[in-house]
């Protein structure tokens, strides 16, 4: 993977930063995208100090014009993008019966539209080069219903199927598209769901009142565990893998 160029969205977040670090440590040059300008600059500075080649680009993936401009700027400054990782995501909890239009649209704007905007812009450039690999970080919530997460789950299911359908279209051009479906992973997004230690325990041990079975491996994932799965799917070790979902949830969705 050494010397290749990767574009990673959501790079200031828990999983995104772990992906940037994992790629950087393998000699990949990374364009790190996020809409959180301060967080992004902090993450890029930290990873650059560790020796990774990371360039920050501040952009809202929900805006297709801005995404097109940023992808063009990445190729101009760094070179041809070989790897794309769609990690940017938002979680707005709420039961469907009372869910607001604003929360629904904001969820889809990032989790679904964002994946479409960035994947379209990047694969459009990969096609004539006849090479590239895409990984979308979706969620095990795309295949296992979770109370209070209907919009999130629907947005992730859409992003997952978009990624696989895109993968079908570009397969004959030598481009692979896969999905990583994390379960509970220790990041700011997961912690935002916890109001105290009981919630953390409930995540691992299960909550019958919420129809959650818990995590068979008995632990919340470290962001690095998700990043390892992303790196595998991008790498030549997965050269014959496409249209696949790799679930990294400690068994929480019981292999569904």
Mention every residue, 6+ apart, whose C-beta is less than 8 A from residue 233.
133, 135, 176, 178, 180, 241, 244, 246
Interatomic CA distance for residues 251 and 256, integer angstroms: 9
Q: Which of 127, 202 has the CB closer to ligand NAD?
A: 202
Q: How near is the Cβ of 240 to ligand NAD at its closest, in Å?
A: 26
Q: Could you tell me where the DSSP H helices lie in the chain?
A: 14-24, 37-49, 64-77, 101-108, 115-126, 150-170, 188-191, 197-205, 223-234
Q: Which of 3, 211 has the CB closer to ligand NAD?
A: 211
> At 56, is the secondary structure helix, strand, or coil?
strand
56 lines the binding site for ligand NAD (CB under 6 A)? no
12 lines the binding site for ligand NAD (CB under 6 A)? yes
**Residues designated catalytic:** 152
Residue of the chain from 24, 182, 214, 250 that contacts ligand NAD (CB under 6 A): 182
Residue of the chain from 4, 14, 92, 247 that contacts ligand NAD (CB under 6 A): 14
Q: How near is the Cβ of 61 to ligand NAD at its closest, in Å?
A: 4
35 lines the binding site for ligand NAD (CB under 6 A)? yes
- Cα Rg of the chain (Å, integer): 17
> At 200, is the secondary structure helix, strand, or coil?
helix
Q: How near is the Cβ of 133 to ligand NAD at its closest, in Å?
A: 18
144 lines the binding site for ligand NAD (CB under 6 A)? no
CA distances from 211 to 181, 205, 208 (A): 19, 12, 5
Q: How near is the Cβ of 242 to ligand NAD at its closest, in Å?
A: 20
Per-residue string for binding with ligand NAD, 92-131, x by CB under 6 A? ------------------x---x-----------------
Size of the site for ligand NAD (CB under 6 A): 29
Mention every residue, 6+ apart, whose C-beta is less than 8 A from residue 205.
214
132 lines the binding site for ligand NAD (CB under 6 A)? no
Per-residue string for binding with ligand NAD, 186-225, x by CB under 6 A? -xxxx-----------------------------------
Q: Could you give the strand order of the β-sheet that contains 53-58, starting from the edge strand earlier in sequence? A: 53-58, 29-34, 5-9, 83-86, 132-137, 175-182, 245-248
Q: C-alpha angle with apex 11: 2 to 156, nearest 5 degrees?
A: 110
- Cβ-closest residue to ligand NAD? 13
Contacting residues toward ligand NAD, per CB under 6 A: 9-10, 12-16, 34-36, 39, 60-62, 87-90, 110, 114, 137, 139, 182, 184-185, 187-190
């Amino acid at each position: 993977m050494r010397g290749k160029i990767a574009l990673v969205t959501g790079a200031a977040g828990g999983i995104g930063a772990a992906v940037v670090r994992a790629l950087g440590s393998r000699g990949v040059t990374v364009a790190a995208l996020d809409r959180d300008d301060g967080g992004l600059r902090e993450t890029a500075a930290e990873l650059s100090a560790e020796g990774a080649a990371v360039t920050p680009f501040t952009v809202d993936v929900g805006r297709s014009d801005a995404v097109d401009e940023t992808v063009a700027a990445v190729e101009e400054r760094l070179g041809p993008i070989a790897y794309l990782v769609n990690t940017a995501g938002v979680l707005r909890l709420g039961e469907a019966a009372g869910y607001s239009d604003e929360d629904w649209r904001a969820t889809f704007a990032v989790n679904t539209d964002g994946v479409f905007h960035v994947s379209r812009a990047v694969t459009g450039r990969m096609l004539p080069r006849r090479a590239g690999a895409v990984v979308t970080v979706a969620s095990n919530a795309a295949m296992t219903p979770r109370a209070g997460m209907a919009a999130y789950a629907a947005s992730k299911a859409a992003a997952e199927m978009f990624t696989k359908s895109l993968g079908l279209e570009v397969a004959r051009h030598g481009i692979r598209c896969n999905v990583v479906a994390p379960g509970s992973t220790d990041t700011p997004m997961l912690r935002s769901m916890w109001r105290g230690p009981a919630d953390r325990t409930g995540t691992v041990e299960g909550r019958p009142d919420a129809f959650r079975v818990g995590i068979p491996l008995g632990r919340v994932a470290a962001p690095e565990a998700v990043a390892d799965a992303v790196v595998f799917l991008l790498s030549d070790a997965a050269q014959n893998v496409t249209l696949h979902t790799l679930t990294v949830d400690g068994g929480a969705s019981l292999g569904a």
